[in-house]
Structure 1
Amino acid sequence: MTPEELIERYEAGERDFKNVNLRGASLIGVNLRGANLSYSDLCEADLSNGILNEAILNQTRLAGANLRQADLGRAFLYVVDLTEANLSQAYLYSAELSEANLSKANLTEANLSWAQLWEASLARANLRGANLNKANMESAILYQANLNQANLTEANLHLADLSEANLIGANLTNARLKRATLSKANLTGTSLEGADLEKAVLEGTIMPDGTMHE
């Protein structure tokens, strides 16, 4: 399917586009609100500034895709592959990203408030300045993730792996970090007011005051 055919069929009222191959397609600013693109191949596609809110992208392949400033609010991205994708400044409010692969993805200044990231992989992802207020990241993998200046207020990080993560200047006020792994993470200047750190692993962690936890 060509990008032109996809847009034409969408504008005609069609919404079911499962299993389509649009690898590397140019879909800048496209409006696919509510479309079902599950199981499709959109690797390295350019969807920057696209309107994809409430779209269904379960198990869709989006590795290396450009979704900069795209609207994915309330979209369904269950088990999606977003490895090394560009999601900088993307709007992912209340998006379903459980078990998604966001390894090495660029999520700089993205809005992920209220997003579901249960068991998602964000290893080595760049989340600098991202809004993760009230996001559910239970059992998520954030190994070596960059969360510098990120907003994690009231986020659920129960059992999350934040080992070697950069949390410098992050806001973890009232965050749930019970049984989370923070080994060798850098929490310099981080706000932990009201945060639940019960049974969290803090071996070698640099604490907010700059001291190392033993």
Structure 2
Amino acid sequence: MEKERITAENLLRRYAAGERDFQRILLEYADLSEGELQCIDLRGAQFSYVNLSSINLRHCCLTAEFIYCNFRNALIEHCDLERTRFFDCDLRGATLRYVELTSTAFTRVNLQGN
């Protein structure tokens, strides 16, 4: 099954309209910094070169692939990260509390300050 290519503006508009299911989306070269995306479902999604700094991701399913993403000072709490892949991501200062990390892969990830 192919991923749905989406823009940050489209994602935020749909989220504001009440949609929470964003499974299998593809988001590249976008800025979602300081956003509020609580309870979002990103199973099977792929994010590449996305700025997610200071984002609020509480109660989310983040079973996705994140490549060259910035999660500095992000709030990731009560989330499912099972089988999530972080590749060359910056998670400095990110809050990771009450998360499921079974089979999560961190490759060249900066977790300083966690």
Which structure has the higher relative contact order (CA within 8 Å, separation 6+)?
2
What range is the shorter-chain TM-score in? 0.7 to 0.9
Cα deviation per residue 1:160-180 (whole Å; 9 max; x = unaligned)?
Answer: xxxxxxxxxxxxxxxxxxxxx
Q: Within 1, Cα distance between the matches of 2:41 and 2:19?
A: 7
CA offset at residue 35 of structure 1?
Answer: 1.2
**Superposition pairs for residues 36-115 of structure 1, below 5 Å?**
36-78=21-63, 80-115=64-99
| Bigger radius of gyration among the two | 1
RMSD: 1.9
Could you list the structure 1 runs, at least 4 aligned residues long, displaced by more than 4 angstroms after superposition.
none
Aligned twin of 1:129: 113
1:34, 1:52 within 8 Å by CA — same for their partners in 2? Answer: no
Match of 2:6 in 1: 22
Distance across 1 between alignment mates of 2:5 and 2:20: 15
User: Which ranges of structure 2 fall in alignment gaps of 5 or more residues?
Assistant: none
Partner of 1:180: none
Structure 2 counterpart SS, 1:82:
strand
What amino acid does structure 1 have at the position aligned with 2:98?
A: W
Write the distance in 2 (CA, Å) between the matches of 1:124 and 1:57: 22
TM-score, L = length of structure 2: 0.84
Q: Distance in 2 between matches of 1:87 and 1:114?
A: 17
Whole-Å separation in 2 of the counterparts to 1:128 and 1:34: 33
Q: How many residues align?
A: 108
Q: Which sections of structure 1, spanning at least 5 residues, go unmatched?
A: 1-18, 131-214
Question: Structure 1 vs Structure 2: percent identity of aligned residues?
Answer: 22
